[in-house]
A and B are shown apart, each in its own frame.
Chain A
Amino acid sequence: MKPYLAIFSSHFRALLQYRAAALAGVGTQLFFGIVRLMIFDAFYRSSTIVQPMTLDEVTTYIWLSQAFLLLTMLNPDAEVSAMIRTGNVAYEMTRPLDLYTLWFTRGFSGRAGPILLRSIPIFVIAGLFLGLRMPASVSAMLIFIVSLCGAFLVASSIVALLTISMLWTISGEGIARMAPAAIFFFSGMVIPLPLFPDWMQGLLALLPMRALIDTPLRIYLGHLTGADAFAAIAHQYFWVVAFITAGRAVLAVGVRKLVVQGG
């Protein structure tokens, strides 16, 4: 475990250095949060039908999703991609480490630092001035933290799978562009999932994307409690196991056919 922790902490520390990027991120995410809010505000004003979420809830949902935006921006790990492109991946394989765990750790640490740096200021600012409400209850808060960990793991295991797919595609451009669009839409980043039409709810509940944003947020709001919350978290961890299993299987095949680029 220790080697992976060392890699995690060195990455985490390195990424904490990028304060300017985080500051810019906070600014943009606040700005887009306000734009999204205005759109929903307009919708709610022009509609007389009772919606499945109140505007207050939508507001909190939007600010939380802005805070955790990076959980949905899932691209192949930039460092590993560069290594695969240049052939430096050779060195990764001469380490006495499990390659999957190593790449998973890289993806996880690459996300944890920036998300932490951005979410805290957004939380504070949106909580004080922009209508973000506190969690529905203390227990909602605790379960929220558990499901947030679940969301991190789902995100990292998807990143690992995307990274491994680079062994085939090398440039990764195609996947890097396709994956985020689907993830964005089905996770609740564009429209909170409860506002989707009823006929889509079954599909949305099955797909892994809701585990990234919708699940923790609705637990925070108190929409999902008790058995429902438990089922939602089970859904998250089911997908974690599924993505890790798939990633490992694909990696095993990839390593056997690996061609190290250059020299």
Chain B
Amino acid sequence: MPQIVVEDLIKTFRISKRTPGLWGSLKGVFSREYRNVHALDGVSFSIDQGDLVGYIGPNGAGKSTTVKILSGILVPDSGRVSVMNHTPWIDRIDYVRRIGVVFGQRTQLWWDLPVIESFELLRDIYSVPQHKYAAKRDELVEMLDLGALLDVTVRQLSLGQRMRCDLAASLIHDPELLFLDEPTIGLDAVSKLAVREFIARLNKQRGLTVILTTHDMDDIEALCRRVLVISDGRILTDGTLADLRASVTRERWLTVDLAATDMAVTTFADPDAQLIRRDGNRLYLAFDPQRVSVADLIARIARNYPVHDLFVENPPIEAIVARIYAQRRISPVAHPSVNTDHDAVAEK
């Protein structure tokens, strides 16, 4: 039986509408109009023990709402959730003992206390026996390289240091399931790598189930084999990264560097490859590997153009996801070009 089962989850928020202007404000005192926002509109999925699942979607898609319901914070309007045989919002206290939660934009450490005192307070809150706590603390300190940070007051930590401490804090009570809500948000490249490496290790070595929401597609590519895509409160796709790619497009990308000496090439034409973008001597081409084999295409391009270097790659996951969002937003027939996909990614 899966560790997490979510069925037909619905959550609607009621937001009061403010009419602008003085008259509107006066009116608002006596009567308010409300507008319903469907944060979740029938979300279902299931997750097995030991999975590392990426949960992605644009802002306001319902990612955080799902995580908050799964971690016992919010109560849904309707739907069924069973996590390790608990319904989070019903037996919240017994349930949250078994899970760990990290919200990247907040901290669970006590702002005014040294890191180690936050850990000790969490030990007491979760009633972790001292010997277990000591072992766990030493292990986490070693894995996350926290030795030098333990006596520092939380307010003095950098964001990257704080996130490492927050990750450790969420694991003090040895949870069976970890929710990470944008754990790499705002981190520099080095800290991101450290966080990713740690998450991958936890998942691989302990079989800890991890549910990760993020806007950072590199997180997804580095960590998650399975990806759930949500938009407007509905699950759009659910599957492996490869499935996700295939469902949107079979397209591969070919990047060609033309020989620097020859600037004469002003136009590019090939029956099977489409020019997406040109950057000086660098051409970005898209092609369908089922229509033309990579070898044939490369041979032909090398024959017709002065090629200096070339390589083939999958379209970045950003482009894929942006295309999914775009396809669902606009009518299913419309095929937005790759360029608008890039813009959509840049906006986020």
Interfacial residues, chain A to chain B (CB-CB below 8 A) = 2-3, 5-7, 10, 14, 86-88, 90-91, 93-98, 255-256, 258-260, 262-263
Partner of B73, one of A2, A10, A98, A260: A260
B226 at the interface (CB under 8 A from A): no
Chain A residues closer than 8 Å to B105, beta-carbon distance: 262-263
A93 x B113 contact (CB < 8 A) = no
Partner of B125, one of A88, A93, A97: A97
Q: How many A-B Cβ pairs are below 8 Å? A: 75
Q: Write the nearest CB–CB distance from B128 to chain A, whole angstroms.
A: 11
Contact with A along B275-318 (1 / 0, CB 8 A): 00000000000000000000000000000000000000000000
A94 x B72 contact (CB < 8 A) = yes
B64 at the interface (CB under 8 A from A): yes
Interface residues on B, range: 20 to 34
Known contacts A90-B73, A94-B73, A260-B74; decide if A2 and B101 are in contact (CB<8 Å).
no
Chain A residues closer than 8 Å to B73, beta-carbon distance: 90, 93-94, 258, 260
Partner of A255, one of B13, B71, B75, B103: B75
Q: What would be 14 A-B contacts, judged by CB atoms less than 8 Å apart?
A: A3-B127, A6-B120, A6-B121, A6-B125, A90-B68, A93-B71, A93-B72, A93-B92, A94-B71, A95-B96, A96-B96, A97-B93, A259-B74, A262-B105
Partner of A258, one of B74, B106, B108: B74
B127 x A2 contact (CB < 8 A) = yes
Partner of B113, one of A14, A90, A255, A260: A14
B181 at the interface (CB under 8 A from A): yes
A263 x B125 contact (CB < 8 A) = no
A263 x B121 contact (CB < 8 A) = no
Q: Write the nearest CB–CB distance from B244 to chain A, whole angstroms.
A: 25
B99 at the interface (CB under 8 A from A): yes
Chain B residues closer than 8 Å to A91, beta-carbon distance: 101, 103, 106, 108
How far, in angstroms, from A8 to B111 measured CA to CA in the complex? Answer: 16
Partner of B101, one of A7, A86, A94, A98: A94
Chain B residues closer than 8 Å to A94, beta-carbon distance: 71-73, 96, 99, 101, 108
B117 at the interface (CB under 8 A from A): yes
B142 at the interface (CB under 8 A from A): no
Known contacts A6-B124, A7-B121, A10-B113; decide if A259 and B13 are in contact (CB<8 Å).
yes
How far, in angstroms, from A91 to B108 measured CA to CA in the complex? Answer: 6
B96 x A10 contact (CB < 8 A) = no
B94 at the interface (CB under 8 A from A): yes
Q: Write the nearest CB–CB distance from A251 to chain B, whole angstroms.
A: 13
Q: Which residue of A lies closest to B173 (CB)?
A: A96
Chain A residues closer than 8 Å to B232, beta-carbon distance: none
Partner of A10, one of B13, B72, B121, B127: B121
Chain B residues closer than 8 Å to A258, beta-carbon distance: 73-75
Q: Write the nearest CB–CB distance from B212 to chain A, whole angstroms.
A: 15
Q: Write the nearest CB–CB distance from B121 to chain A, whole angstroms.
A: 6
Q: Write the nearest CB–CB distance from B294 to chain A, whole angstroms.
A: 43
Most chain B CB within 10 A, of A91, A93, A94, A98, is at A94
Chain A residues closer than 8 Å to B64, beta-carbon distance: 263
Q: Which residue of B lies closest to A93 (CB)?
A: B73
Within 8 A of A (CB), among B73-97: 73-75, 92-94, 96-97
Q: Write the nearest CB–CB distance from B65 to chain A, whole angstroms.
A: 9
Chain B residues closer than 8 Å to A3, beta-carbon distance: 124-127
How far, in angstroms, from A96 to B13 measured CA to CA in the complex? Answer: 26
Chain A residues closer than 8 Å to B96, beta-carbon distance: 93-96
**Given A3-B126, A91-B108, 12 further pairs, Cβ under 8 A:** A2-B127, A6-B120, A10-B113, A10-B121, A91-B101, A93-B72, A93-B92, A96-B93, A97-B125, A255-B75, A260-B73, A263-B182
Chain A residues closer than 8 Å to B125, beta-carbon distance: 3, 6-7, 95-97
B45 at the interface (CB under 8 A from A): no
Partner of A86, one of B106, B112, B121, B182: B106
How far, in angstroms, from A7 to B182 measured CA to CA in the complex? Answer: 28
Q: Which residue of B lies closest to A88 (CB)?
A: B106
Chain A residues closer than 8 Å to B120, beta-carbon distance: 6
B34 at the interface (CB under 8 A from A): no
Chain A residues closer than 8 Å to B72, beta-carbon distance: 93-94
B268 at the interface (CB under 8 A from A): no
A96 x B101 contact (CB < 8 A) = no
Q: Which residue of A lies closest to B103 (CB)?
A: A90
Q: Which residue of A lies closest to B59 (CB)?
A: A263
Chain B residues closer than 8 Å to A5, beta-carbon distance: 124
Of all A-B residue pairs in the complex, the 10 with the closest CB atoms, nearest first, are: A6-B124, A96-B97, A3-B125, A91-B108, A94-B101, A263-B105, A93-B73, A96-B93, A88-B106, A94-B96
Within 8 A of A (CB), among B159-207: 181-182
Chain A residues closer than 8 Å to B126, beta-carbon distance: 3, 95-96
Q: Write the nearest CB–CB distance from B38 to chain A, whole angstroms.
A: 14
Q: Write the nearest CB–CB distance from A82 to chain B, whole angstroms.
A: 10
Q: Write the nearest CB–CB distance from B18 to chain A, whole angstroms.
A: 14
Most chain B CB within 10 A, of A3, A88, A96, is at A96
Within 8 A of A (CB), among B50-78: 64, 68, 71-75
B112 x A14 contact (CB < 8 A) = yes
How far, in angstroms, from A70 to B66 measured CA to CA in the complex? Answer: 42
